[in-house]
Amino acid sequence: MSSVRGGKLGRWYLMAVLVCTWPVFAVAGEAPVAERSDVTELLRLSGATDIAKELTPFIARQFMLALQQSNRGLSSRAILVINQVVNQYLSDQARADELTSELAPIYEKIFSPAEIKELIAFYGSPVGRKLAASLPEITAQSAQVGQAWATKIMPGLRSEVLGRLRSEGLIAP
């Protein structure tokens, strides 16, 4: 995927963090079968269960970078083998049914059965399909904007924090 290349790993990392830290405490009781099937359809249509596929290149690249830094003499063949194993392992681990069982209770708690049906209709529409297909790139570009903003405000934030700590005598002036 082109949005993973070229130093854009931070965006994918942010997306991974957001997805992985989604409110797990939102788990409600088991939904009736009809509701769960609707939620499963919504997750499929919205692309929510594809997150593992989206993150696989990022995770593989991070793993490879760490391995290359600790083993600078890796041959190109070793790198190829490692890449193949990492990608296959992550692909095997990224089962949509497992993600669905983890994600569905969150959606079931937040949305009513009627709202789930409305969302299914939306994601089944042309604009809904376009949104689902575009979300990885939207998320990546949004994360890039967020990173740039954080970088821009960091000196001011640092100055404010240090000024306050100094004024309260918590650090040397």
Instruction: State residue 35 phi and psi, 5-degree precision.
Output: -65, -45
d(CA 132, CA 160): 40
Q: Is the pLDDT of residue 131 over 70?
A: yes
Residue 92 lies in a domain: yes
25: amino acid identity, one letter: F
Residue 168 lies in a domain: no
Which is higher by pLDDT, 23 or 159? 159
Residue 66 lies in a domain: yes
Read off the pLDDT of each residue in 137-143 and give the average, rounded to a whole number: 86
Range of the domain at 16: 2-135
Residue 68 lies in a domain: yes
Q: Is the pLDDT of residue 92 over 50?
A: yes
Tell me how many domains the chain contains.
1
| Lowest-pLDDT choice from 22-26, 78-82, 151-155, 162-166 | 22-26
Residue 27 lies in a domain: yes
Read off the pLDDT of each residue in 19-24 and give the average, rounded to a whole number: 43
Residue 12 lies in a domain: yes
Total-model pTM: 0.57
Average pLDDT, the chain: 78
Read off the pLDDT of each residue in 99-124 and give the average, rounded to a whole number: 91
Residue 146 lies in a domain: no
SS3 171: coil
Residue 18: which H helix or E strand, with range?
Answer: helix 9-20
Residue 167 lies in a domain: no
Q: Is the pLDDT of residue 127 over 90?
A: yes
